[in-house]
Chains A and B, each alone.
Chain A
Amino acid sequence: MTLSTATQRDNLLNSLLPELGQLIPAQSIITKVEQLHAYECDAFTTMRQLPLLTVLPETIEQVQHVMRCCHRLEIPVVARGAGTGLTAGSMPVEHGVLLGMSKFDQIHDIDLDNRTALIGPGVRNKAVSDAAAPHNLYFAPDPSSQLACSVGGNVAENAGGIHCLKYGLTVHNILELEFVTIEGELITLGCAALDAAGYDLTAIMTGSEGLLGILVKIRVKLLPVPASTRVMLAAFATIEDAGNAIAAVIGAGIIPAGLEMIDQTGICAIEELMHAGYPVDAAAVIICELDGSIAEVEDELSSVIRIFTDLNATDIQIAETAEESTRIWAARKAAFPALARLAPDNYIMDGTIPRRALAQVWKQINQLADQYQLQVVNVFHAGDGNMHPSILFDSSDDDQHRRAFELGTRILELCIEVGGTISGEHGIGLEKINQMCLQFSATELQQFHALKQAFDPKQLLNPGKQIPTLARCAEFNAMHVHHGEMPFPHLERF
């Protein structure tokens, strides 16, 4: 920290602290640098920044007060849930306030007749389903981090999970959002009914990564727990066979609750850690979960077995007990810890592609991996086209670090080329902000900025994240020339 930034920090603290103190108890304000380190990053740990201070508000009034103070003094505010984000979305801003929402962890109401729960944004994802479980209800979005991640974070990122194809993303599973604007005003979006008057602003708020407002209350939908759930694991000798099998299941009119695919390196890594009985000689495995009434699931199960058999499955395991199902899923959910054993660092991508392009993209990713001399493991939400290629590298080797991030960009370019997107569920944050310049034109980015302006004219909420400035894109595109030419020459340039 240079002297001038230290002075600037002191000055800001001197003007902000007395104002905050009018309504926020001292124990809810953290200013000691050694304590602030706990808030310097989210789960994307390669990007870190200390905030000016952290506030842990307990009431809506306190959130409003923080926002009013920061608005008046023009101090940036970054909201944080459980810090499990993968894109540095809640990384603090230098000289900005980090607003930790962990104390908003109350489940206010579970409305059984309307199948909704009214909760604070700090409630953990899994805690909602746990609270609803005695009533045979659950909250559908289930990102792999569901034990730890908060629903506020789920809304901010529009989190998905393994059951999205059938049950949707977070945006499909919330009804009402209460948020505080940067000016400190409390606004309710949506309502307890299935639609609301005016613009669909719950859709805009969901996935806005803390750039538009601070969530303080969320009404989520609860769904009845299916009467029956069956899980199966099928092995295939080629990626093409597995891809065809997935297309055939969907083509047959079956929407599985979960449809996952893992490549051979992934299978071996998982098997070594979990000993779940995954076939290590297969080129790919598909995990398929079917749910519904007992009768429905049995109908669909026999159809899926027939399809997989006809399409050259080399092995099909059907879980006969709840324990066997759990074993298959637990191994899949342990994919990332398993990969972590293969290399010191692991860069997880989140591109989504139309399923038809799967085999082609998979092959091209492997070619790119060879070219960059890095190993890539593919774990794939196959049902909805969301790929999670994982680049294994060692960040202590500068050259490997650089190659890993370049390879990541190339993979995301591939996703855009086949009609997909750079992020299916992890969000943009800071991690993928440059790649936004590849997916969107200057006018589209300007439209995003104009929309942000409608909520936050002074650009104080999570500044610098999610939507790149045109200047940043100009710089990125100037540097990002490959094969001697600009990518997507038909796109408007900066």
Chain B
Amino acid sequence: METVAARQRPITQAQSTDLTIDQATNQTQALVDQVRHAYVHQQPLMITGGGSKSFYGRSVEGDQLSVSDYRGIINYEPSELVITARAGTPLHIIEAVLAEEGQMLGFEPPHYTPHATLGGAIACGLSGPRRPYSGAARDFVLGVTMINGKGELLHFGGQVMKNVAGYDVSRLMCGAQGTLGVLLDISLKVIPQPASEQTRILSGNQKQIQNLLSKWGRLPLPISATLFHNDQLYVRLSGTESGTHSAALSIGGDQIIEDQLWQQAKELQHPFFTSEQTCWRLSLPPAAPEIPEYLFKNQLIEWAGAQRWLYSEADHCNIIRWAENNGGHASLIDRNTSDGYTLFHPMSTGLMALSQRIKKSFDPAGILNPGRLYPDL
């Protein structure tokens, strides 16, 4: 299959660091060998890519297994709306190649640093401002080639939009942070870039804005991002020229020239995020109540209310409990470059036991990124 793929790939998109087919085969074998060796010797592995999201999770102790050299676009045909690339391919290269054809990754993955890779984006499963409207990283994953914890090379899913043959293992890999397998090749659905885009600003308190967002959510409006901070709501509209124009008339507010806002929000570079402190991310039903004032000092709300960032000095347990009682979950993120970490919401006993059995089914010796998500996974 790979020879076909290589032929189809436009030459102009080649990068000097891309692998030839032979090099990719050799690297795959080397990675398989390294995992197999670790399995036999029960030696934990710490899987790394570009290191851009190393703070997103707990620290892992183990021998480094780097996939950052396993890179290159294997197949991309715009009319199929599918791209297949190796896990170490830098995200910015993938996005540039798609942009040349007027397409994009629908989940707008955060990069955090220029070294961000495709593998890291999928393993972490993070999505940007377009998430509530276009879908999450997992929604775009069509297939993966991966190595499980026994050093077996496996293919799941494929390069087609609809595929129900076998369990949907490819999507399970999204957000599993390498604890179930080492991602090698990844196929993603892509979407067309909108022909027209504009950002509008409206003012109001949280209650007023939340009511507005709930009302808009029930209307077929081409909203592609929202951000609420300090009583100001920013709304991005994406679609055809006349589509965004007519939507702008119905939502009101003022158009602003804002080419950095969404990029800043996606990359956690909005002025709100400059604090050195640890930050909470609450993932909630969009219309969840306002978070009580005693639980935070400052907040920024995205995803029409479904993603809320907080700086807080409140007791951790209180924040976690509030998020859970309101239908969501909370994670605590420290982005300090040297020893940053993220703590994820505790799972129920039953779900944790099941997750452990699933981990074991992919990684019986517990060597793949052990403890990265939870101490017991």
Contacts and interface: CB of A to CB of B under 8 A. Distances in A.
B257 interface: no
Contacts of A112: 214, 218
Interface string B224-243: 00000000000000011111
B82 interface: yes
A3 interface: no
A113 B165 contact: no
A186 B348 CA distance: 11
Contacts of A200: 125, 138, 171-172, 174-176
A428 B165 contact: yes
A450 to B, nearest CB: 4
A367 interface: no
B222 interface: yes
A436 interface: yes
B164 interface: yes
B193 A187 contact: no
Interface in B189-247: 191-193, 195, 214, 217-222, 239-243, 245-247
Interface string B342-358: 00111110111011011
Contacts of B176: 199-200
A466 B80 CA distance: 28
Given A160-B162, A295-B243, A444 B154 contact: yes
Interface stretch (A318-326, A419-427, A478-486): A419-427
Given A191-B327, A201-B172, A292 B167 contact: no
A337 interface: no
A137 B217 CA distance: 10
Contacts of B243: 292-293, 295-296, 299
Contacts, number: 269
B79 A451 contact: no
A255 B238 CA distance: 14
B136 interface: yes
A293 B220 contact: yes
A116 B175 CA distance: 23
Nearest to B102: A253
B160 interface: yes
Contacts of B351: 187-189, 198, 201
B240 A443 contact: no
B172 A195 contact: no
A194 B303 contact: yes
A168 to B, nearest CB: 7
B152 interface: yes
Interface residues of A, number: 95
A271 interface: no
Interface stretch (B34-42, B281-289, B333-341): B281-289
Interface string A376-393: 000001001110000000
Given A188-B351, A194-B303, A295-B243, A467 B166 contact: yes
A197 B82 contact: no
Contacts of B11: none
B283 A194 contact: yes
Nearest to B187: A419
A114 interface: yes
A466 B166 contact: yes
A157 B161 contact: no
Interface residues of B, number: 91
Given A199-B358, A227-B220, A295-B243, A423 B329 contact: no
Contact of B239 (A137, A194, A293, A453): A293
Given A204-B167, A254-B192, A447 B152 contact: yes
Nearest to B192: A253
B328 interface: yes
A207 interface: yes
Interface string A168-209: 110110000000010001111101111111111101101110
A372 interface: no
B165 A187 contact: no
A478 B170 CA distance: 30
Contact of B165 (A250, A300, A353, A439): A439
Contacts of B352: 198
A158 B79 CA distance: 25
A197 B192 CA distance: 30
B360 interface: yes
A144 to B, nearest CB: 14
Interface in B149-168: 152-156, 158-168
Interface string B85-106: 0000000000000000011000
Contacts of A224: 217-221
Contacts of A172: 135, 139
A207 B168 contact: yes
B77 interface: yes
A203 B77 contact: no
Given A113-B286, A421-B158, A455-B354, A447 B239 contact: no
Contacts of A194: 131-132, 136, 283, 303, 306-307
B168 A164 contact: no
A185 B350 contact: yes
A267 to B, nearest CB: 23
A114 B174 CA distance: 25
Contacts of B350: 181, 185-187
A492 B345 CA distance: 41
B197 to A, nearest CB: 13
A293 B221 contact: yes
A294 interface: yes
Contact of B327 (A192, A195, A356, A386): A192
Given A169-B162, A188-B351, A207 B138 contact: no
Nearest to A425: B162
Nearest to B4: A419
A451 B360 CA distance: 9
Nearest to B191: A255
A320 to B, nearest CB: 20
Contacts of A115: 217-218
A467 B218 CA distance: 40
A165 interface: yes
A454 interface: yes
Contact of A421 (B79, B102, B160): B160
A352 interface: yes
Contacts of B322: none
Contact of B160 (A187, A385, A441): A385
B1 to A, nearest CB: 6
17 contacts: A112-B218, A113-B287, A171-B171, A185-B350, A191-B327, A204-B358, A224-B218, A254-B192, A294-B246, A295-B245, A299-B242, A356-B77, A421-B158, A424-B164, A436-B165, A436-B166, A451-B358
Interface of A: 111-116, 135-137, 157-158, 160, 164-165, 168-169, 171-172, 181, 185-189, 191-201, 203-204, 206-208, 224-227, 247-248, 250-251, 253-255, 292-296, 298-300, 352-356, 381, 384-386, 419-428, 432, 436, 439-441, 443-444, 447-448, 450-455, 466-467
Given A158-B168, A253-B192, 13 more contacts: A111-B287, A194-B132, A194-B303, A198-B355, A199-B180, A199-B355, A200-B174, A224-B220, A296-B222, A352-B162, A451-B167, A451-B358, A454-B354
5 closest A-B pairs by beta carbon, nearest first, are: A253-B192, A113-B287, A296-B243, A203-B171, A424-B162
